[in-house]
Chains A and B, each alone.
Chain A
Amino acid sequence: MTTLEVNGRRVSVSASPDTPLLWALRDHLQLTGTKYGCGIAACGACTVHVDGEPTRACVTPIGALAGKRITTIEGVSTSQADKVSRAVQDAWVEVQVPQCGYCQSGQVMAAVALLRAKARPSDADIDAAMNGNVCRCVTYVRIREAIKVAARRLATGGAT
């Protein structure tokens, strides 16, 4: 039994400590917004935040997460979510980013982490932060645009 702090709540998972966080979230906690894409940290579909840092849940064993704060896509999608999370998701819808949608939880988590670290990211910043997140529908043009829209909104307090 491993105790985790997920989206602000303490939860117990009866799985061995080597179980990747991804499968604890999906199969034990029914938090299915975090997706399986590769299992080797090569696609970013499983991106969550661990103590605020974007982290690949598919290669992070739950045994290594004692005392850490884990945030999933569900955690940034509530009405209590912070303004960066809301701005990113609103921009995602406004720019009509998703196609199949399977990678987008991970994309959103990566973008939220980027904008928290850097309020006005350059194109090079976006490349660096988002290159680990694969989209096979290739929605990159719109992901880039949505990040910029969200950054503008946050900078102007939602005025543009």
Chain B
Amino acid sequence: MTTLVNTSRRDFLRGSAGLALGIVASPALAQQAGPGRAGGEVAANAALAPNAFVRVGVDGTVTVVAKHLEMGQGVYTGLATIVAEELDADWSSVRVEAAPADAARYNNLFWGESQGTGGSTAIANSWEQLRKAGAAARAMLVQAAAQRWKVPASEITVAKGVASHVATNRRASFAELAADAGRLAVPQDVVLKDPKDFVYIGKATLPRLDARAKTDGTAIFTQDVHLPGMLTALVAHSPRFGARPKSFDATAARKVAGVVDVVQIPTGVAVLARDFWAAKSGRDALKVEWDESQAFRKGTDEILAEYRKLAGTPGKPARREGDADRALAGAAQVFAATYEFPYLAHAAMEPMNCVMRLGPQGCEVWNGEQFQTGDQFAVAGVLGLRPAQVRLNMLYAGGSFGRRANPWSDYVVETAHIVKATGGKAPVKLVWTREDDMRAGMYRPLFVHALEGALDAKGDVIGWRHRLVGQSILTGTAFENMLVKEGIDVTSVEGATTLPYAIPNLTVELHSPRLPVTVQWWRSVGSTHTAYATEVFIDELAAAAGRDPVEMRRALLAKHPRHRGVLDLAVEKAGWGRPLAAGQPGERRGRGVAVHESFGSFVAQVAEVTVKPDGSLRVDRVTCAVDCGIAINPDIVAAQMEGGLGYGLAAAMHSKITLADGVVEQSNFHDYVPLRMSEMPAVEVHIVASAAPPTGVGEPGTPVVAPAVANAVFAATGKRLRTLPFDTSPLNG
């Protein structure tokens, strides 16, 4: 049975006498280093360690060191698949361990000298690196066999962890060869497999390595880490952005049994206790007075009113081709629409949390660690350490959707401040409650998009003006220099400036107002709003021109074969053009389509919806086509499309963060409403066969579903949904 060594299990076992009660922990596993403690330690012990990513033990175990966070997207399995393929390993002997923080070896190759996970880059940046890593190990094992058998290496074949020399009928397993192979020089150049010879890549049958541990409760998340003497910390945060703690009265809090300490930190007041419930009770009893002299006190309505005004004025040019003004002025038909998008919380199932322990050598962190390099620097800065003294244990993350890669390392830094304020006396587990997590900011920014389109007499689109208003995510972060050019934050306009449609006169303009409400990337970032605005607007233009929305898109995508490829596939599989089965009496049904590229992957979705007489909306079925280059694990690709579009559908149907007098109005899942089982459509995923290098799948499924559904609602009712989440009241009757 292939196993994924569980996170931080050694410490966990050490500190958990009560474990005997139920957690089944195999003694063999308990001996092994867990993710995050792994890279270096395994390197010291494994017989064959040709590079930073592959280890082969004398027991034949193949360990793949994963530099990327497993947050649900299946990346541990994906990275291991690439290595196992080139190594010709036996999948049942493959395991994964998390890499330590070390940007020299484990940087994201798309992010320069930084280590981290995001932008759907994990597989794409690791592809060549891990193929070569696996191939180097394989070449050494082959060489060891060749020397042992005194035959040419070229005559040796490898399959499922066994090297063979057919002519002399000799075989040796990786276990038998590892020690000898480990003494050989690491080859500089390796030959990679011809993709036609792949045995794992592209096969739907390879199971996820973490599925069992995530089914029987043994997978360890940050929330589950228990260290000897550890205290749980809850923090009272200001209800408004920009406020600071002025004074606090901890008399009642300190009287709560189990409360150990109450300390002020820059972001609030922390209550430390022996366990969560004591810390929570202590925080409930705490009285804090806030300095709100700099606090933000606007409401969503005021923000929207300002944004709408800005949308009527020219912004900074982000893309300009031809002369959109002239095209609009001389058009046979001009069409305009405005779309509005709320702030969104990530709301991962595991609220933000972090465990930190200060020791004589530095500090050690346990975290669903998504941005190692940034977090190392930030923690080091707070604690007066060198970044290398901040040791990071990358645990499974209970979802992230971008949240755990925070440009300010917000919750990690908060933990460091608590450790500092308490003198490092005890290890600290910071736990944000759901309410803390929901109200902590770092939202997908609120956006207003104003679009105008020009049609000529034939119904062709000859002009397009797209104005976006919304906060910049990257301004003021370490990414600003790289990704904000001439006032344009690429993450504000991606998907709008990359509009693939052949429109001769086109401008995209951006306003980036500054507000104290903190914002962050959220699964598919700019595309969360640009895909909606562009794909609904092109649909509106098609309707205005009296053209079929698929035909219109196809005509404008002549130079974009991969867009067309997914569009054609989704449309074919969905039965576009064939009549939909009728609903119940009074129900209206419709089909809508959208296509969008994000992070180098192309996705088209066709949604089928039913609108009931009372206006309520049900999405019945989504047919999804994806072109992500070579699909390493097709079943994981499908799962990411299912989940990704579900995440986008939740936002479209329900989700919004609103402010009143500067205070976030939502707090938990009763008012920040998630998608539930009964609302989930049937989903079919079709993957375009491709020989192109693999691109990401974690995000690209998310932004396409909302416009597809909105376009289906139009097909069913003739009404356009231009505000998210959907206000379905106009669909009544």
Q: Interface code A61-99, partner B: CB below 8 Å = 1, 0 otherwise?
A: 000000000001111011000000000010011001111
Q: Which of A7, A93, A126 contacts B22 (CB 8 A)?
A: A7
Are B349 and A100 in touch, CB under 8 angstroms?
A: yes
Task: Tally inter-chain residue pairs, CB-CB below 8 A.
Answer: 212
Contact B678 A127 (CB under 8 A): yes
Are A92 and B215 touching (Cβ within 8 A)? yes
A35-B350, A101-B213 given; A138·B675 CB < 8 A:
yes
- Min Cβ gap A135→B in Å is 7
Range class of the B interface residue count: 35 or more
- Nearest CB of A to B726, in Å: 17
Say yes or no for B642: interface residue by CB 8 A criterion: yes
Report whether A136 and B434 are in contact in the complex, using a CB–CB cutoff of 8 Å. no
What CA separation (Å) do A15 and B22 show in the bound complex?
20
A6 to B21, CA, bound (A): 8
CB neighbours (8 Å) of B221 from chain A are 35, 102
A55 at the interface (CB under 8 A from B): no
Judge if B397 is at the interface, Cβ distance under 8 Å.
yes
- Looking at the assembled complex, report how far the CB atom of B684 sits from the nearest CB atom of chain A, in whole angstroms: 10
Q: Tell me, yes or no, whether A143 is within 8 Å of chain B by CB.
A: yes
Contact with B211, one of A78, A97, A108, A138 (Cβ below 8 angstroms): A97
User: Counting CB contacts under 8 A, is B52 at the interface?
Assistant: no
Q: Mark A110-148, 1 if CB is under 8 A from B, else 0.
A: 000000000000000011001111111111111110000
Contact B212–A93 (Cβ < 8 Å):
yes
Q: In this assembly, does B396 line the interface, its C-beta being within 8 Å of a C-beta of chain A?
A: yes
Cross-chain contact B226 with A30 (CB below 8 angstroms): yes
Contacts A38-B669, A73-B216, A98-B210 known; A140 to B680 CB distance under 8 Å? yes
Q: With A136-B348, A141-B682, A142-B639 in contact, do A9 and B207 touch (Cβ < 8 Å)?
A: no
Give CA–CA (A20, B275) in the complex, Å: 12
Contact yes or no, A78 B24, CB < 8 A: yes
Pick from A45, A135, A137 the residue with the most CB of B within 10 Å: A137
Per-residue 0/1 for B333-363: is the Cβ within 8 Å of any A Cβ (1 yes, 0 no)? 0000000000000011111000000000000
- In the complex with contacts A9-B21, A37-B349, A74-B23, A98-B214 CB distance below 8 A: yes
Is A52 located at the chain interface by the 8 A CB criterion? no
Closest Cβ of chain B to A115, distance in Å, is 15
Question: A100 near B277 (CB under 8 angstroms)?
Answer: no
- Please name all residues of chain A whose beta carbon is closer than 8 Å to the beta carbon of B449 when the two chains form the complex: none
Give chain B residues whose Cβ lies under 8 Å from the Cβ of A23.
275-277
Candidate in B72, B74, B208, B220 with the most chain A CB atoms within 10 angstroms:
B72
Question: Which one of B376-384, B587-595, B643-651 is at the A interface?
Answer: B643-651
Cα separation A102 to B18 with both chains bound (whole Å): 21
B434, A38: Cβ atoms under 8 Å? yes
The answer to whether A136 and B396 touch across the interface, beta carbons within 8 angstroms, is: no
Inter-chain CA distance A112–B416, complex, in Å, is 41
A1-18 contact mask (Cβ, 8 Å, vs B): 1 or 0: 000001101010001100
Closest residue on chain A to residue B15 by CB atoms: A30
CA distance A153 to B275 in the complex (A): 42
CA A108 to CA B354, docked complex, whole Å: 26
Does the CB pair A141–B642 fall under 8 Å? yes
User: Is the Cβ of A100 less than 8 Å from the Cβ of B215?
Assistant: no
Answer yes or no: A27 CB below 8 A from chain B CBs: yes
> What are 6 A-B pairs with beta-carbon distances under 8 A?
A27-B232, A31-B21, A33-B216, A72-B22, A137-B399, A144-B677
4 closest Cβ pairs, A-B complex: A33-B217, A138-B646, A101-B214, A102-B398
**B residues at A contact (CB < 8 Å):** 16-19, 21-24, 71-74, 207-208, 210-221, 223-224, 226, 232, 257, 274-277, 347-351, 396-401, 431, 433-434, 635-636, 639, 642-647, 649-650, 668-670, 674-678, 680, 682-683
Residues of A within 8 A of B (CB): 6-7, 9, 11, 15-16, 19-20, 23, 26-40, 42-43, 45, 72-75, 77-78, 89, 92-93, 96-105, 108, 126-127, 130-144
